[in-house]
């Protein structure tokens, strides 16, 4: 397949500002936050496949604002249905967006990107971009997503794929001491969005979406169209209401049934159904070659104990994939990895320890449906695990899996707060300084450089952080070295391990 495609998965640290501009209806001197973006959508009325369509969305951080128009042409936008005006004191407007044109949003200073139906050449893939904002993670100094979005925007991509989990700070694991439903079997459903208390402090709310996604993503939102997948943090028990309001690509403007793309009213204390929403897979067909298939795996428990009906639902979804794929080949974007490995050992027996190999439900659904993924699927993309991992297989029927879940969490052992302009200028002196990045996975036979899982190495994040600060003479080195015989002189002191 003669084509060049850039697949960029990065993780850096820094700060990006939200867009603060006056909306069309703002009184003189009044300023409101607003964010504009373009979502790629399946154009069929059943929401499953092509033709490729795009939707312009504008979020205005004020309730009941008149929708702006898109120009040239002063094309109208219409409001999306607000799932809870009490906690989402915002206006979300949308319009079908033309292919091949760049429009701006009247009065808001927002320019939306041009969308092409041609196969994208440069693609940014991110996942798990939220920030915990607790004792485990300081969102001011230890959150890579703002700088990641800024750096990614500077690469001028054709497409951004987000693999889900946008909202960590607004999705606690427990509410009132009870574990919130997370996709696995429970006899008593617990949700953070009580149906009879729309003002509850635990309810999914705009402020968390704003702080965990929109302000950080702002530079990248206007740079390219986006494809959004739903993570487990966007389950209906958690930030699902906001996900369907802001990001889900289906719309009544495309003739699609809104009942399929929203969270039902939540009822506590009994079986998970009917509290859940399973969005059917859909395909985005580009002009030739690639069909990008998006699968909602939010309800696919990581261990073999899904909720009742989930395995049957996912089995039927995999069985239907061949009918969705219209191009020569497909990528499958879904939040939970079909094949992700947790541990750093030479050999892993997934059958003996299913918890180390995600995802039990998706794997079983493939076995029960087609036996393997459709041959046209050449690359499954997923997040969920907070690492970068590439998994290859000897057997046929399993294309290489990429796991890209490094967008929001602080990686173990990083001192990301050390990456400041002053510190780098002091250490490197000039933007032209040649920087060669080695990481632990570049060394063998050294107690000083314990072997690390390549996916846990800091090469990627270091490269991107340096690039973002203007250092472009940076190289990530490939060879595996023995420090005892390498021609590179390493600084430091040898230490003996204590018995
Ligand atoms: Fe996740």
* Ligand 1 centroid to residue 240 C-alpha, Å: 13
Would the pLDDT of 491 be above 90?
no
The answer on 321 and 243 residing in a single domain is yes
Q: What is the pLDDT of residue 467?
A: 75
Question: Residue 86 carries which DSSP code?
Answer: T
Q: What is the pLDDT of residue 354?
A: 65
Q: What is the pLDDT of residue 57?
A: 98
* Ligand 1 centroid to residue 387 C-alpha, Å: 12
Instruction: For residues 349 and 371, give the distance between their C-alpha atoms in angstroms, rounded to a whole number.
Output: 20
Q: What is the pLDDT of residue 5?
A: 40
Q: What is the pLDDT of residue 327?
A: 86
Domain for residue 499, yes or no?
no
Task: Work out the average pLDDT over 439-447.
Answer: 56
Total domains, the chain: 2
Q: What is the pLDDT of residue 4?
A: 35
Instruction: For residues 441 and 452, give the distance between their C-alpha atoms in angstroms, rounded to a whole number.
Output: 5
* Ligand 1 centroid to residue 172 C-alpha, Å: 13
Domain for residue 489, yes or no?
no
Distance of CA 148 to the CA centre of its chain: 12
* Ligand 1 centroid to residue 74 C-alpha, Å: 40
* Ligand 1 centroid to residue 359 C-alpha, Å: 11
Would the pLDDT of 212 be above 60?
yes
For 5-36, write each residue's pLDDT tens digit.
Answer: 444 443 332 222 223 333 445 555 567 899 99
Would the pLDDT of 41 be above 70?
yes
Question: Residue 210 carries which DSSP code?
Answer: I
Q: How confident is the model at residue 331 (pLDDT cuts 50, 70, 90)?
A: very high
The answer on 394 and 459 residing in a single domain is no
For 303-313, write each residue's pLDDT tens digit.
Answer: 999 999 999 99
Q: What is the pLDDT of residue 167?
A: 98
CB atoms within 10 A of CB 390: 12
Domain for residue 219, yes or no?
yes
Domain for residue 488, yes or no?
no
CA 225-285-221 angle, to 5 degrees, is: 5
For 263-310, write each residue's pLDDT tens digit.
Answer: 999 998 889 999 999 999 999 999 988 999 999 999 999 999 999 999
Q: Which of 346, 371, 404 is the last residue of a domain?
A: 404
Q: How confident is the model at residue 459 (pLDDT cuts 50, 70, 90)?
A: low
Q: What is the pLDDT of residue 28?
A: 54
The answer on 275 and 331 residing in a single domain is yes
Q: For residue 433, what are the domain limits?
A: 422-476
Would the pLDDT of 107 be above 70?
yes
Residues 380, 331: contact at Cβ < 8 Å?
yes
| Closest by Cα among 104, 50, 27, 73 to 325 | 50
Ranked by mean pLDDT, which of 130-134, 205-209, 427-431 comes out on top?
A: 205-209
In this prediction, what percent of the chain has a pLDDT beyond 90?
65
Q: Which of 342, 376, 404 is the last residue of a domain?
A: 404
Tell me if the bond preceding 274 is cis, omega within 30° of 0.
Answer: yes
CA distances from 141 to 25, 55, 239, 414 (A): 36, 34, 24, 11
In this prediction, what percent of the chain has a pLDDT beyond 70?
80
**DSSP β-bridge partners for residue 41:** 53
Q: What is the pLDDT of residue 378?
A: 96
Task: Work out the average pLDDT over 352-370.
Answer: 89
Distance of CA 486 to the CA centre of its chain: 39
* Ligand 1 centroid to residue 335 C-alpha, Å: 7
The answer on 426 and 359 residing in a single domain is no
Q: What is the pLDDT of residue 432?
A: 79
Ranked by mean pLDDT, which of 34-38, 397-401, 419-423, 462-466 comes out on top?
A: 34-38
* Ligand 1 centroid to residue 82 C-alpha, Å: 25
Question: Residue 211 carries which DSSP code?
Answer: I
The answer on 385 and 338 residing in a single domain is yes
Q: Six-digit token pair at 340? A: 């992700």
Domain for residue 192, yes or no?
yes
Ranked by mean pLDDT, which of 127-141, 162-176, 355-369, 461-475 comes out on top?
A: 162-176
Would the pLDDT of 116 be above 50?
yes
Q: How far apart are the first and last CA of the chain?
A: 55
Instruction: For residues 408 and 254, give the distance between their C-alpha atoms in angstroms, rounded to a whole number.
Output: 32
* Ligand 1 centroid to residue 63 C-alpha, Å: 30
The answer on 12 and 113 residing in a single domain is yes
* Ligand 1 centroid to residue 432 C-alpha, Å: 39
* Ligand 1 centroid to residue 452 C-alpha, Å: 23
Would the pLDDT of 45 be above 70?
yes
Q: What is the pLDDT of residue 498?
A: 28
Would the pLDDT of 245 be above 70?
yes
The answer on 307 and 349 residing in a single domain is yes
Strand 91-97 to 52-60 pairing: antiparallel
Domain for residue 91, yes or no?
yes
Q: What is the pLDDT of residue 29?
A: 54
Domain for residue 295, yes or no?
yes
Q: How confident is the model at residue 440 (pLDDT cuts 50, 70, 90)?
A: low
The answer on 426 and 369 residing in a single domain is no
Q: Which of 370, 404, 438 is the last residue of a domain?
A: 404
- What are the residue ranges of helices labelled H in 200-340? 206-209, 215-221, 240-246, 310-319, 321-324
The answer on 440 and 397 residing in a single domain is no
DSSP 326-355: -SSEEEEEESS-SSEE---SS---TTT-GG
Say what the pTM is.
0.81
* Ligand 1 centroid to residue 445 C-alpha, Å: 35
Q: What is the mean pLDDT of the chain?
A: 85
Domain for residue 320, yes or no?
yes
* Ligand 1 centroid to residue 163 C-alpha, Å: 9
The answer on 364 and 459 residing in a single domain is no
The answer on 175 and 104 residing in a single domain is yes
* Ligand 1 centroid to residue 257 C-alpha, Å: 27
Q: Six-digit token pair at 440? A: 């632990």
Cβ neighbours of residue 332 closer than 8 Å, sequence gap 6 or more: 293, 295, 321, 338, 373, 377, 379, 380, 381
The answer on 201 and 94 residing in a single domain is yes
């Amino acid at each position: 397949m003669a084509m060049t495609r850039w697949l960029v998965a990065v993780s850096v640290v820094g700060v990006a500002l939200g867009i603060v501009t006056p909306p069309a209806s703002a009184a003189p001197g009044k300023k409101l936050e607003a964010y504009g973006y373009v979502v790629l959508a399946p154009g069929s009325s059943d929401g499953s496949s092509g033709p490729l369509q795009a939707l312009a969305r504008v979020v205005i951080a004020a309730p009941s604002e008149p929708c702006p128009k898109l120009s040239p042409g002063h094309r109208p936008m219409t409001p999306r249905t607000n799932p809870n005006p009490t906690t989402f004191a915002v206006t979300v407007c949308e319009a079908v967006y033309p292919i091949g044109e760049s429009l701006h949003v009247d009065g808001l200073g927002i320019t939306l990107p041009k969308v092409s139906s041609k196969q994208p050449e440069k693609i940014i893939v991110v996942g798990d971009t939220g920030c915990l904002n607790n004792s485990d993670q300081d969102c001011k100094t230890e959150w890579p997503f703002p700088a990641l979005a800024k750096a990614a925007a500077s690469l001028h991509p054709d497409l951004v794929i987000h693999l889900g989990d946008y909202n960590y700070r607004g999705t606690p694991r427990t509410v009132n001491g009870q574990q919130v439903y997370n996709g696995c079997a429970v006899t008593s459903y617990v949700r953070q969005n009580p149906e009879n208390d729309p003002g509850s402090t635990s309810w999914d709310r705009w402020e968390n979406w704003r702080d965990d996604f929109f302000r950080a993503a702002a530079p990248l939102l206007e740079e390219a169209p986006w494809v959004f997948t739903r993570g487990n943090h966007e389950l209906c028990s958690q930030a699902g209401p906001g996900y369907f309001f802001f990001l889900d690509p289906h719309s009544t403007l495309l003739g699609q049934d809104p009942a399929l793309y929203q969270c039902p009213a939540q009822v506590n204390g009994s079986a998970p159904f009917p509290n859940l929403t399973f969005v059917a897979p859909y395909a985005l067909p580009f002009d030739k070659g690639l069909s990008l298939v998006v699968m909602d795996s939010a309800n696919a428990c990581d261990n073999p104990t899904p909720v009742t009906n989930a395995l049957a639902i996912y089995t039927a979804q995999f069985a239907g994939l061949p009918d969705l794929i219209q191009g020569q080949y497909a990528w499958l974007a879904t939040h939970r990895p079909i094949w992700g490995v947790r541990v750093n050992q030479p050999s892993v027996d997934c059958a003996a320890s299913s918890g180390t190999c995600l995802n039990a439900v998706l794997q079983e659904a493939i076995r029960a449906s087609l036996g393997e993924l459709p041959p046209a699927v050449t690359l499954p993309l997923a997040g969920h695990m907070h690492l970068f991992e590439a998994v290859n297989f000897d057997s046929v029927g399993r294309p290489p899996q990429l796991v890209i879940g490094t967008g929001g969490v602080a990686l173990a052992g990083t001192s990301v707060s050390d990456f400041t302009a002053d510190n780098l200028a002091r250490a490197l002196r000039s933007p032209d300084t040649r920087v060669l990045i080695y990481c632990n996975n570049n060394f063998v036979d050294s107690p000083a450089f314990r072997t690390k899982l390549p996916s846990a190495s800091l090469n990627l994040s270091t490269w991107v952080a340096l690039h973002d600060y203007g250092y472009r003479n940076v190289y990530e080195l490939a060879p595996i070295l023995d420090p005892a015989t390498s021609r590179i002189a390493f600084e430091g002191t040898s230490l003996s391990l204590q018995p």
